């Protein structure tokens, strides 16, 4: 990928993407990484799937869906 394309991609990312984060203890983070590893997944992919599975949960009839996700 050339330099021009990366700058364009970086601008698109800045306009359209955000990072969601949280704080957990080091032990909780290590335990989560181990659990993901045992499933053959990365922490990133696991969290991303969770967030995307809950993205419709803001509709009034979807409150049960939030409980299922958590």
Place of tokens 């993901």: 36
Residue 1 reports pLDDT greater than 70:
no
Task: Give percent of the chain above pLDDT 90.
Answer: 56
Mean pLDDT of 35-56: 91
Nearest to 35 by CA among 26, 27, 43, 44: 43
Dihedral over Cα of 42, 47, 21, 18: its sign: positive
pLDDT at 56 over 70: no
Instruction: Using a cut of 0.85, tell me whether the model's pTM lies above it.
Output: no
């Amino acid at each position: 990928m050339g330099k021009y394309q990366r700058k364009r991609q970086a601008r698109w990312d800045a306009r359209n993407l955000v990072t969601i984060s949280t704080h957990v203890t080091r032990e909780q983070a290590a335990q989560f990484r181990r659990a993901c590893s045992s499933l053959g997944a990365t922490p990133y992919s696991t969290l991303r799937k969770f967030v995307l599975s809950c993205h419709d949960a803001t509709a009034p009839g979807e409150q049960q869906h939030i409980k299922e996700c958590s």
